[in-house]
C-alpha cells in the first residue's frame, strides 16, 4: 500500500501552526508519485500460468492468460481461449470474477463472462449479453406481441369479462385493480403474531380482541393491515369504536415483535400549528384549541390583544378541544418569551380568563432584584434577610418598656441609668427578641460601648409570662474572663507561662524546661499549672505534679514579669513519701507517717521533734542549757503537756459534719484522706468553726486528696468534704 504523507493544516485559519506552503506542496508531489506507482502496480496484469484453476484466484487484481492452450489446459475457465481476468473482493467474503476472451475463438468474436463466490461456493459462469443479441431479441418480442395482439380482440381490453390492459408504464390502471375485502380474523383463541401474510383483516368480535392474543388494546373491534417483505413484517391496527385509535408494530427478528406503538393524531396530540400571522391583529382570547404557535416577531405581540408581554415567543394551548374539533369550555395558555426565558400562564374557566401570572425563574432565586428563598425550616435564608437599622432610644426611656423586636441604640451615658432599668450607665446597643404567643417571652441583650480601659460588656435578661415581670440583668462572661486551657507538648520555660486565667497541662516530663522546681530524683511527669495575673508586677503560679501511686505535689510562687524576678518555689502540700525531695529550700515539707523535713542548706533532712528525756529538752534548749536546772523542776508538768510524748498515729472512726472535742489535755494532730469524685472535689478540717486546712485537685477525678490540722487542747474540730468519698481518718494522740 502506498504511504501517504499528511499535511499539517494547523488548528485554525492563518494560525501559523501548519506546514509551510512549499513543504505542503512537496508532500502533495510525493503523494501523487506514490499513488501513481500504487495504481500502476494495482492494474498491471499478472500472467496466469498454463493449467491454473481459476477457483484459486480470490485476491483482487488483474490477471492475463496469454495462450489458448493455457486456458484449455486450465480448470474452471468459462471458455478455452486466452483472455483477461478481473477479480474483486469485499470484506464480507464476496468474490467477483470477470473474464473477457480475446478475438481468437470461432468467428473471432469477443465475449465477457462473470460469476461470484459466496458461502464457500462458486456460481456458474454467465455470459454478458451483447447489444446485437439484445436487438435481435427485441425484434422477436415485437413480432410475438404483434401476433398476440392480433389474437386478442381489442374490444376485450379493459372490458368486463375481458382482459386487463397495462398503462404506458407497464402497470395495471387503478380502475381495473380488484377490490380487496378484509379477511375475518378468528373469534376463538388465536395469536396475532402468526398473521404475517400481507393483506387486510377484520376482527368483528370485541371479545376475541384480548391482550393475551397480542392485541394492543382489549375489547374493541378493529381492522388489521399486514405488510410483509421477506422476514420483515409490519402490523397496523385501527379500532372501529370511539375514540378511534391507531397502533403499529414491527417484527424485529424471526420470532420477536416490537411493542405496540400508538400513532398520535390531531385529536390526541399537541401539534405545532405554525407561525402566528401578523395580520389581522391577533387576540389570544380566541386561541382555545390545543396546539403550539410561534410568535416570530415582537411586533405581533406588542400590537396584539391579551398578550402577557410585547415580545416574541411561543404559545402553548393545553385544551380538550383539538384543531378542527368543537370548542372547549376551558383551557390553559402558556407563553414562553423568546429572548429572556420568562414564562407566563393563565386559564380559561367557562367564559372567564384568569389574569396572566409569571412563573419564577430559577435564576431569580436569591439573586439581586429577584425573589428570596426559604430554607428547609420554611424560614428566610439569613443571607437574604433585610438589613434592619437600629432605632434610637429617646432620653428618659425605661428599658422595661422597650418590648418591640429589633435593634436599638442608646447614644448617651446619661440616659442609661439604673433608675430606668439599664444594666450599666454606659451607652450601647440593645437587641430585643420577642415570642409572639404562648409564654410571651421577651429577651433583651445590651452591649455597652467601650468603657473604662476599652472594655465592653454584654448583659442579658428575660421577661417571661403574662405578668410582665423582668428578671435580673446578668453579665455575659468575656473571653478574657474565662479560664483558658493550653496543652504543652515541648520543653517550656516556666517563666513564660504568665497568661491570665490560664491553666496549662502536660503529660510527659519533656515539657519541664527551665525554672521549674528541681528535685533530687526525677519523678515529675504529668501535671498542670494555674496562672493568676494581678498586674505585670504580680503574677502567681500554682503548680501541681501528678505522681503515680502518690498524692499530687503542689508548689506556688509569684513574680514580677516586667523585671523577670521571681520568688522561689515553695511546697504547699504534704508528701506521700520522702522520695525525690527538692534540691533547694522550698519550706518545711510534711511526709505522711514520717514527719517534717527541713532544708539544712544542702539537702532536706528529717526533723526529730520527739522529747523523751530531760537531756532531749536540754539539747533542744541549746543556749538555754545553763538554765536546765531551773527548767528541770518544771519538766514533769511540761512533759505531760508537750505533743509527741506517749502519742502515736491511730486510725479512728469519724464522720463528716460531726463536731469532735480534743479532751486529751494535749495538742493532737488529725488527718483525713478522701478520693475525689468530681471535677471540683475537695476536703477540709474546721477548728473551732474555722477552716484550717483545705485541699482539692482541679479535674483530677479518682485522685487521693488529703487535709490535716493541729488541734489545741479543748478545741473542737470537724471533718468535711465535697464531691469526694472513701474517707480514712488518722489522729496522732
- Helix, coil or strand: residue 418: helix
What is the C-alpha to C-alpha distance for residues 382 and 375, in angstroms, rounded to an integer? Answer: 9
Contact predicate 667/727, CB 8 Å: no
- Percent helix, strand and coil across the chain, each to the nearest 5: 20, 35, 50
- The secondary structure of residue 594, as a DSSP letter, is T
What is the C-alpha to C-alpha distance for residues 95 and 118, in angstroms, rounded to an integer? Answer: 7
379, three cell numbers = 424560614
Quickly list DSSP for 173-194.
-GGGSPPP-PEEPPSSS--GGG
| Mean confidence (pLDDT) of the chain | 87
pLDDT in tens, 526-552: 999 999 988 989 999 999 999 888 899
Query: What does the pLDDT average to over 514-531?
Result: 88
551, three cell numbers = 498524692
Contacts of 658 (CB under 8 A, 6+ apart): 718, 719
Query: What does the pLDDT average to over 290-308?
Result: 94
What is the C-alpha to C-alpha distance for residues 709 and 693, in angstroms, rounded to an integer? Answer: 6
Name the residue with cell 516556666: 494
φ, ψ dihedrals at 299, nearest 5° = -65, -35
Which of the residue ranges 29-38, 467-476, 499-508, 557-566 would you say has the lowest mean pLDDT?
29-38
Contact predicate 420/396, CB 8 Å: yes
What are residue 407's DSSP bridge partners? 431
Core vs surface per residue 235-244: b (16+ CB within 10 A) or e: bebebeeeee
Query: What does the pLDDT average to over 692-709?
Result: 83
Q: What is the number of H-type helices and E-type strands within the chain?
A: 7, 44
Select, from the ranges 10-19, 96-105, 180-189, 279-288, the one with the highest average predicted confidence (pLDDT): 279-288
In this predicted structure, the answer to whether residue 259 has a pLDDT above a threshold of 60 is yes
Q: CA 3 → CA 30, 34, 36, 72, distances in Å? A: 9, 7, 12, 41
pLDDT in tens, 236-255: 999 998 888 899 999 977 77
What is the C-alpha to C-alpha distance for residues 98 and 93, in angstroms, rounded to an integer? Answer: 17
- The secondary structure of residue 130, as a DSSP letter, is P
What is the C-alpha to C-alpha distance for residues 71 and 52, in angstroms, rounded to an integer? Answer: 8
In this predicted structure, the answer to whether residue 555 has a pLDDT above a threshold of 50 is yes
- The secondary structure of residue 365, as a DSSP letter, is B
What is the C-alpha to C-alpha distance for residues 630 and 639, in angstroms, rounded to an integer? Answer: 15
- Helix, coil or strand: residue 382: helix
Q: Indicate the pairing of strand 111-118 with strand 121-122.
A: antiparallel
Range 642-732 has CATH code 3.20.20.70: no
Query: What does the pLDDT average to over 588-615?
Result: 86
pLDDT in tens, 84-131: 999 988 866 789 999 998 876 666 678 899 999 988 899 999 998 888
In this predicted structure, the answer to whether residue 37 has a pLDDT above a threshold of 80 is no
Sheet order of strands, 668-676 included = 649-652, 724-732, 668-676, 704-711
Contact predicate 676/705, CB 8 Å: yes
- Counting residues of the chain whose pLDDT is more than 70, the rounded percentage is 93
- Helix, coil or strand: residue 510: helix
What is the C-alpha to C-alpha distance for residues 215 and 260, in angstroms, rounded to an integer? Answer: 8
609, three cell numbers = 521533734
What is the C-alpha to C-alpha distance for residues 527 and 661, in angstroms, rounded to an integer? Answer: 38
Contacts of 212 (CB under 8 A, 6+ apart): none
pLDDT value at position 623? 47
Kindly indicate the confidence band of residue 1, based on its pLDDT and cuts at 50, 70 and 90. low
Taking the CA atoms of the chain, what radius of gyration do you get in angstroms? 59
Contact predicate 693/684, CB 8 Å: yes
Burial of 704: CB neighbours in 10 Å, binned 0-12, 13-18, 19+: buried
| Greater model confidence, 179 or 706 | 706
Contacts of 225 (CB under 8 A, 6+ apart): 199, 200, 201, 235, 236, 237, 238
In this predicted structure, the answer to whether residue 27 has a pLDDT above a threshold of 60 is yes
Contacts of 643 (CB under 8 A, 6+ apart): 666, 667, 668, 669, 710, 732
- Helix, coil or strand: residue 69: helix
In this predicted structure, the answer to whether residue 166 has a pLDDT above a threshold of 80 is yes
- Helix, coil or strand: residue 637: helix
Nearest in space to 541 (alpha carbons), one of 520, 570, 512:
570
- The secondary structure of residue 515, as a DSSP letter, is T
pLDDT in tens, 339-385: 888 999 999 998 899 999 999 888 888 788 778 888 778 787 777 77
Nearest in space to 57 (alpha carbons), one of 104, 129, 115, 112:
115
- The secondary structure of residue 257, as a DSSP letter, is B
Q: End-to-end CA distance of the chain, in Å?
A: 121
Residue length of the chain: 733
Name the residue with cell 380502475: 175
- The secondary structure of residue 206, as a DSSP letter, is G
Contacts of 369 (CB under 8 A, 6+ apart): none
Query: What does the pLDDT average to over 62-67?
Result: 90
181, three cell numbers = 375485502
Contact predicate 353/344, CB 8 Å: no
Contact predicate 399/459, CB 8 Å: no
Amino acid at each position: 500500500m502506498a504511504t501517504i504523507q499528511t499535511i499539517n493544516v494547523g488548528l485554525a485559519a492563518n494560525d501559523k501552526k501548519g506546514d509551510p506552503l512549499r513543504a505542503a506542496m512537496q508532500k502533495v508531489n510525493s503523494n501523487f508519485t506514490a499513488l501513481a506507482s500504487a495504481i500502476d502496480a494495482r492494474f498491471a496484469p499478472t500472467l496466469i500460468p498454463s493449467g491454473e484453476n481459476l477457483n484459486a484466484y480470490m485476491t483482487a487484481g488483474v490477471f492475463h492468460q496469454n495462450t489458448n492452450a493455457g486456458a484449455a489446459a486450465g480448470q474452471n475457465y468459462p471458455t478455452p481461449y486466452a483472455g483477461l481476468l478481473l477479480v474483486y473482493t469485499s470484506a464480507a467474503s464476496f468474490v467477483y470474477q470477470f473474464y473477457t476472451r480475446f478475438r481468437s475463438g470461432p468467428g473471432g468474436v469477443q465475449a465477457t463472462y462473470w460469476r461470484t463466490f459466496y458461502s464457500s461456493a462458486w456460481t456458474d459462469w454467465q455470459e454478458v449479453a451483447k447489444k446485437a443479441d439484445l436487438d435481435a431479441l427485441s425484434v422477436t418480442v415485437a413480432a410475438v406481441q404483434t401476433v398476440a395482439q392480433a389474437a386478442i380482440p381489442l374490444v376485450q381490453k379493459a372490458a368486463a369479462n375481458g382482459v386487463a390492459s397495462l398503462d404506458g408504464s407497464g402497470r395495471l390502471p387503478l380502475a381495473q385493480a380488484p377490490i380487496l375485502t378484509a379477511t375475518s380474523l378468528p373469534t376463538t383463541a388465536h395469536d396475532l403474531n402468526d398473521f404475517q401474510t400481507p393483506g387486510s383483516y377484520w376482527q368483528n368480535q370485541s371479545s376475541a380482541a384480548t391482550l393475551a392474543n397480542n392485541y394492543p388494546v382489549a375489547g374493541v373491534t378493529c381492522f388489521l393491515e399486514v405488510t410483509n417483505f421477506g422476514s420483515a413484517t409490519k402490523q397496523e391496527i385501527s379500532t372501529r369504536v370511539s375514540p378511534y385509535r391507531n397502533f403499529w408494530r414491527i417484527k424485529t427478528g424471526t420470532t420477536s415483535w416490537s411493542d405496540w406503538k400508538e400513532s398520535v393524531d390531531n385529536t390526541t396530540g399537541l401539534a405545532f400549528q405554525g407561525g402566528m400571522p401578523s395580520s389581522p391583529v391577533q387576540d389570544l382570547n380566541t386561541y382555545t384549541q390545543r396546539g403550539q404557535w410561534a410568535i416570530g416577531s415582537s411586533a405581533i405581540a406588542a400590537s396584539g390583544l391579551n398578550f402577557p408581554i410585547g415580545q416574541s415567543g411561543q404559545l402553548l394551548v393545553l385544551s380538550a378541544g383539538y384543531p378542527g374539533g368543537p370548542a372547549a369550555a376551558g383551557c390553559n395558555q402558556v407563553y414562553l418569551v423568546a429572548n429572556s426565558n420568562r414564562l407566563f400562564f393563565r386559564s380559561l374557566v367557562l367564559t372567564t380568563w384568569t389574569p396572566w401570572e409569571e412563573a419564577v425563574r430559577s435564576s431569580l432565586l436569591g439573586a439581586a432584584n429577584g425573589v428570596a428563598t426559604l430554607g428547609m425550616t420554611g424560614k428566610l435564608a439569613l443571607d437574604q434577610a433585610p438589613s434592619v437599622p437600629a432605632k434610637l432610644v429617646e432620653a428618659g426611656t425605661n428599658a422595661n418598656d422597650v418590648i418591640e423586636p429589633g435593634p436599638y441604640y442608646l447614644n448617651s451615658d446619661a440616659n442609661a441609668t439604673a433608675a430606668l432599668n439599664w444594666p450599666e450607665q454606659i451607652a450601647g446597643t440593645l437587641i430585643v427578641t420577642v415570642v409572639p404567643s404562648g409564654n410571651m417571652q421577651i429577651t433583651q441583650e445590651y452591649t455597652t460601648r467601650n468603657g473604662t480601659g476599652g472594655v465592653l460588656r454584654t448583659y442579658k435578661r428575660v421577661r417571661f409570662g403574662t405578668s410582665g415581670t423582668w428578671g435580673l440583668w446578668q453579665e455575659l462572661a468575656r473571653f478574657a474572663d474565662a479560664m483558658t486551657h493550653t496543652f504543652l507538648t515541648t520543653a517550656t520555660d516556666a517563666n513564660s507561662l504568665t497568661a491570665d486565667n490560664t491553666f496549662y497541662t502536660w503529660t510527659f516530663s519533656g515539657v519541664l524546661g527551665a525554672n521549674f522546681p528541681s528535685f533530687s530524683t526525677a519523678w515529675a511527669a504529668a501535671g498542670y499549672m494555674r496562672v493568676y495575673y494581678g498586674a505585670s508586677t504580680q503574677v502567681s503560679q500554682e503548680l501541681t505534679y501528678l505522681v503515680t501511686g502518690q498524692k499530687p505535689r503542689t508548689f506556688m510562687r509569684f513574680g514580677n514579669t516586667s523585671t523577670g524576678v521571681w520568688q522561689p518555689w515553695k511546697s504547699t502540700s504534704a508528701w506521700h513519701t520522702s522520695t525525690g525531695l527538692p534540691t533547694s529550700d522550698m519550706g518545711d515539707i510534711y511526709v505522711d507517717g514520717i514527719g517534717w523535713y527541713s532544708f539544712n542548706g544542702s539537702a532536706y533532712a528529717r526533723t526529730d521533734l520527739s522529747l523523751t528525756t530531760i537531756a532531749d529538752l536540754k539539747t533542744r534548749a541549746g543556749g538555754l542549757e545553763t538554765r536546765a536546772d531551773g527548767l528541770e523542776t518544771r519538766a514533769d508538768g511540761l512533759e505531760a503537756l508537750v505533743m509527741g510524748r506517749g502519742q502515736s498515729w491511730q486510725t479512728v472512726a469519724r464522720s463528716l459534719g460531726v463536731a469532735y472535742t480534743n479532751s486529751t489535755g494535749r495538742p493532737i494532730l488529725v488527718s483525713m484522706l478522701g478520693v475525689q469524685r468530681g471535677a471540683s472535689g475537695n476536703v477540709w478540717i474546721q477548728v473551732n468553726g474555722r477552716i484550717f486546712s483545705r485541699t482539692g485537685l482541679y479535674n483530677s477525678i479518682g485522685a487521693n486528696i488529703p487535709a490535716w490540722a493541729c488541734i489545741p487542747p479543748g478545741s473542737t474540730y470537724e471533718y468535711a468534704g465535697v464531691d469526694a468519698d472513701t474517707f480514712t481518718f488518722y489522729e496522732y494522740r
